[in-house]
Structure formats: C-alpha cells, structure tokens
Structure 1
Amino acid sequence: MSGVEFSLIIPVKDEEAAIAPCLARVVAVLEALDDPVAHSFEILFIDDGSSDATLDMIRKANAADPRIRAISLSRNFGKEAALSAGLDAARGAAVVPLDVDLQDPPEALPKMIAEWRAGYDVVCGVRDNRQTDTLPKRITADFYYRAHNWLSDDKIPEHAGDFRLLDRKVVEVIRRMPERNRFMKGLFAWAGFKQTAVSYHREERKHGRTKYNYWKLWTLAIDGITSASTVPLRIWSYLGGLVALGALAYALFIIVRTLTTGIIVPGYASLMVAILFLGGLQLLSLGVLGEYVGRILTETKGRPLYIVRERIGD
C-alpha cells in the first residue's frame, strides 16, 4: 500500500462553482482531526465527463496542494461507475465517498473515523431527517427503502446514501465484484463486515444544482431492485398461477351454470375486460423479464465500467 491513511472520493460533473468551497471545508475538517488521518489523507475527484471548467478548477487545486488528485473519465458514465473508478484509484486504509454539494457534511467524518478506529469496517452515514427533500421525494424514498429491503436479502440501512466509511478490506472486496450493472449501496450491503451507523443532519445544497431528476431516480431504483433480487420474476410466476386458478374456477362456474340454467350468450364487456386484463399482465411480465434480459446482455458484452482520459496528481 501507499501509506495513505485516508481517501475521500468526490464524484463531480459540471460542478465548477462547488470545487473551491468543498475543498476549503473538507481540508479544514481533516486537518483539525486529532488522528493520524490529519497528516495522511488524499482527496480524489472523479470528473465524470464535465463540460464546464470543473477539471481546470481541480488542476489549480492540485497545483496548490498535491494531496488533491483527480481522474477524468472519457465521458459521462454515471455516478455508480464514477464511484467504482474512485474505489479502484483510492490509496487510503479507509475510504469515504462524499458528494461535492456538501449536503452530507464533512463534519460527520470525525465520528466516522472514531468508529473505524474502534474496530468497525463499515460506518454508514444515516440522515436524521429528510427535510431538505420535497414531500414527494421523502415519500418515494421511504417507500423505496422498504421495498428494497423486503425484496432483497441484502438489507440497506434506511435513509443511508453512499456517504460511508469503508475499510481497505471492504474496498478490495467491492473492487473484485465483476458486474457492470452496479448499485453501489447494494454492493456495500452485500459485502457485509462489521458495521455501525453515524447519524447526521443533511443540509441544503449551497452550490450548483442536482443532476438527478425523478426519471433518473426511478431508473436507479429499478437498477437497485433488479441487481439485488430475483423476487420480481417470482412475483409474476405466482401472479400467473393465481390468474390460471381463477380462470379454471370461472370455467367450472360456466360449466355448472350451463348445465343448470342452459346456454347463455356471453357479454361483450366481460370478454373485453378479460382480454385486456390478461394482455396487460402479459406485457407487464414481459417488461420485468426484459429488465433482467437487458442486464444479462450488458454483462455478456464485458465492456469496462469506465475509461480514464486523464489522471491528475499521480
């Protein structure tokens, strides 16, 4: 190993206004620590295809402080791939992913490091509230965490994001995972190890604006569930069985009614309802199956998770 005690991974895309405030606050927190981390840390930016002056800001920061490094990807590969690139390049004995918007406050890092020193391998940052989110986002986030933990054996802490401390041995386990469809919170949960949590107050975003809209959050949720569980496939098997049993029961009812009351011409409305209902179920089941088949295709292609265009500070 390089001897670096602590690595902070910060994925960025078009965040030129946030680089300097983020560094000022993070460096102040780390240098004030009563811990060896204060004298042995690195800050690793992952530039995920920025089109503004983000990379220039990072170059200036590196020229002033060699503890600041960066990897620039050849295009926008997405946050999950950027985090993977950061884990591959981080050199610290402990690693923490952090968003540049500082909604997850660096002031929580001392508590995380203290828990790590106490023997924990993973220290999750858990939000004590979601008041900075809109009401629809709070409701959908709560529903997602509950749904994910109900469907998957790999439970993720509720209201915990990517902000967490990972010991080097946990990082190495995650780096060895070969899948291309990556949901990092699920991978962190799958790895296991001795875990604890640190609560913190999530702040308002002060610089730039979020890159996540509701559609991207929905896509991330689908990726999270399909990467962690095959229960959705089983659900459609069970539902298909129930519909088949219902159809059989209805057929028996028709036979009995015909034998007792004579032949009755079936109604157009009931026939159309049955056809549309069963057709809708088939299309939905094909959609769920398609999600999994699409992931199989991505895995069989074997393309790299990301491509590095430039390294700064190596």
Structure 2
Amino acid sequence: MQQDTVYSVVVPLYNEELVIDESYKRLKEIMDTTSEGYEIIFVNDGSRDRTREKTEKICSTDKNIKLVNFSRNFGHQPAITAGMRVSQGEAVIVIDADLQDPPEVIPEMIEKWKQGYDVVYGKRAKREGESFFKKLTAGVFYRLLKSMTSIDIPVDTGDFRLIDRKVCDVLNSLPEKNRYVRGLVSWIGYRQTYVEFIRQERFAGDTKYPLKKMFKLAFDGITSFSYKPLVMSGYLGGISFFIGIIMLIMGLINSAAKGLELINFQFLISVDLIMFGIVLFCIGIIGQYIGRIFDECRGRPNYIIENIVNKRGE
C-alpha cells in the first residue's frame, strides 16, 4: 500500500455519462480539502454510453484517478467489490456517482473515523426528488430485510459509507459470489456509527436500481444472512395441511346436509389451487437457496477486469 494514499473513494459507474464530470468535480473539491493523499477509483461496470470515454479523459489529466473497466456488465455489488480490492487507502469510501448521496458528507465520515470508528455509514434522514412509490418500496425493502435477516443491518442506509482498511481486507477475503456488501459489513462487526444526511434528487439520468433490481438485492440480502424463509415455508406447509383438512371436513358436512355429492368438482379445484400454490411458493424459496449454492460451487469470479487506467498511479 502506498503510504501517501490515506483515502480511497470507490465509485461504481453504469451509463453515467451525464453525471461523471460533475461527480468528479465535487469529489475532487471535497477530497482536496482533506490535505491528505487520496485516490478516486471509478469502476466502469460495462457502460454502453460514453462513460468510459469521458472517465478516461479525466484520468489523463489527474493521476489521482483510477478507472477499472469490466469486460461487461456484472452489477453494482461486484463493482463495489472490485473497487475495494484495487484500493490502497487506509480508509475506503464507497459512494454512487449520481450525487444522491452528497460528497459533502464525506468530511463528517472522516472525522468519525479519526475518532476511532471502523465503519461510518450514511443514514438517510430524508429522501428528496423521489416518487411516493419509490419511497414506499424502499421503506418496505429495508424493514423487511431487517426483520428477515439474523444480523443487525441498519435501515435507511445504502452502500454510502467509510470503512477502515482492516475491515476492507476482511471483506476482500470473503469468497462468496452473491455479495450483499452492506450486509457483509454489518456481519463483520467492529466499531460502527453513522452520520445522517438528506438524500438529494438524482443529478441527471435514470435510476440504476429499478424495482426488478431491488427485488434481486432483497433476495441476495435475505438468502445471504437468513434461513427464515425456509422455516416459514415449513410453517406454511403445515398450516396449508390443516386448512385442507378443515375444508375437507366442512365440505363433507355441507354436502351431506344438503344431499349433494360428497366430493364435487368446485371443491376439488379450490383445494388443489390452494395446495399447489403453497407448494410452488415453497419450491421457489428453496430454489433461491439452491441457485446460490450452485453459484458458489461453480467458482466463477464475481467480475472480469478488462484493464485499469492509471494503475499504481502511473
């Protein structure tokens, strides 16, 4: 590790040509105020626009900037992981390029770090410029995740955080494929605290976390840190069995009282739909776990790096 690199700022990029210049400008302004050595690591996650071209231009004028180019799109969490593994700083700061998490909060995180905290995460006190549906789904996502997982993952937090080098080294040593970084940071432990901030409206472009990706992130978080869905599927199977027995008895009594056939077509269909629905739901939960086991067994890397611009500060 280079002794003059105190801070490493990791910024994942995916189709961020509209924000990259402003993101670089504000990050540089903030990091220059520290009067300490730093590097900003942009991780290009297979962008299809001019993100790579514009970031390479920035690298050509500023040797404190590194650009990690993936061979294709691998996802937000692998991009964060790659940035951490390339980083050389004593403290690593993860922030998205869209400026919803304001870089101006970074000095507060650094101050907490210098007070002895190993992890300082950003907690959203308010979310500006987002629809009611987005706020609702985000709120449900964080609280569902907290209730389902076996570790204490703070609510209303994202990946915007500062972590000490020793925490980063432990993270880098973990081999799992379906990584949920903020959950892993909580699982590792060490002294942790937070700083509150108001999440800003996206500077430009579209969100990179639509509902579909939010669901995947939720599954990754829950299946990485909890067996509760498997336990719940067992309870659900037991409950459905007793409901089926009760419905069968009630159907028989009703048919006998009215002089109808003991087993009619409508009764059979309703029972079948309930039972098959529950069975398929439980199979789907089990499938999520089996799929992740398969990913781990294949041993494929989380990402493939095509090249690194300004590697080792050259």
2:234 is aligned to 237
Which amino acid in structure 1 is aligned with residue 16 of structure 2?
E
Name the CA distance, whole Å, in 1 between partners of 2:200 and 2:92: 22
Q: Given that residues 149 and 225 in structure 2 are in contact (C-alpha distance below 8 angstroms), is that contact kept between their aligned partners in structure 1? A: yes
2:2 is aligned to 2
1:302 is aligned to 299
**CA spacing shift, 1:77–1:257, aligned 2, 3 Å:** closer
Q: Given that residues 6 and 94 in structure 1 are in contact (C-alpha distance below 8 angstroms), is that contact kept between their aligned partners in structure 2? A: yes
Deviations 1:175-209 (A, max 9, x none): 11111111112111111111101001111112222
Deviations 1:49-71 (A, max 9, x none): 12222222222212211101111
1:55 is aligned to 52
2:83 is aligned to 86
- For the pair 1:163 / 2:193, whether they are aligned, the reply is no
Q: Given that residues 252 and 263 in structure 2 are in contact (C-alpha distance below 8 angstroms), is that contact kept between their aligned partners in structure 1? A: no
Deviations 1:122-168 (A, max 9, x none): 00101111232211111111111111111111221111000000001
SS at match of 1:305: coil
Deviation at 1:107, TM superposition (A): 0.6
- For the pair 1:67 / 2:64, whether they are aligned, the reply is yes
Name the CA distance, whole Å, in 1 between partners of 2:60 and 2:67: 12
1:219 is aligned to 216
- For the pair 1:146 / 2:147, whether they are aligned, the reply is no
Q: How does 1:136-215 map to 2 (within 5 A)?
A: 136-215=133-212
**CA spacing shift, 1:309–1:262, aligned 2, 3 Å:** same
Deviations 1:243-271 (A, max 9, x none): 22344456677889999999962333222
| Stretch moving more, 129-138 or 106-115 | 129-138
Q: Given that residues 148 and 155 in structure 1 are in contact (C-alpha distance below 8 angstroms), is that contact kept between their aligned partners in structure 2? A: no
Q: Given that residues 44 and 70 in structure 1 are in contact (C-alpha distance below 8 angstroms), is that contact kept between their aligned partners in structure 2? A: yes
Deviations 1:24-55 (A, max 9, x none): 1111111123xxxx230000000111222222
- Aligned residue-pair number: 310
Name the CA distance, whole Å, in 1 between partners of 2:128 and 2:21: 26
| Stretch moving more, 239-248 or 272-281 | 239-248
Name the CA distance, whole Å, in 1 between partners of 2:304 and 2:289: 25
Q: Given that residues 80 and 184 in structure 1 are in contact (C-alpha distance below 8 angstroms), is that contact kept between their aligned partners in structure 2? A: yes
What TM-score results when the alignment is normalised by the length of structure 2?
A: 0.92
Deviation at 1:292, TM superposition (A): 1.0
- For the pair 1:98 / 2:95, whether they are aligned, the reply is yes
1:22 is aligned to 23
Name the CA distance, whole Å, in 2 between partners of 1:135 and 1:256: 49
Name the CA distance, whole Å, in 2 between partners of 1:211 and 1:126: 20
Which amino acid in structure 2 is aligned with residue 9 of structure 1?
V
* Identical columns (%): 37
Q: Given that residues 46 and 73 in structure 1 are in contact (C-alpha distance below 8 angstroms), is that contact kept between their aligned partners in structure 2? A: yes
**CA spacing shift, 1:103–1:257, aligned 2, 3 Å:** closer
**CA spacing shift, 1:310–1:263, aligned 2, 3 Å:** same
User: Which segments of 5 or more consecutive residues in structure 1 lack a partner in the other structure?
Assistant: none
| Stretch moving more, 82-91 or 178-187 | 178-187
1:132 is aligned to 129
Name the CA distance, whole Å, in 2 between partners of 1:53 and 1:142: 33
Q: Given that residues 45 and 72 in structure 2 are in contact (C-alpha distance below 8 angstroms), is that contact kept between their aligned partners in structure 1? A: yes
User: Which segments of 5 or more consecutive residues in structure 2 lack a partner in the other structure?
Assistant: none
**Structure 1: 4+ residue segments shifted above 3 A:** 245-264
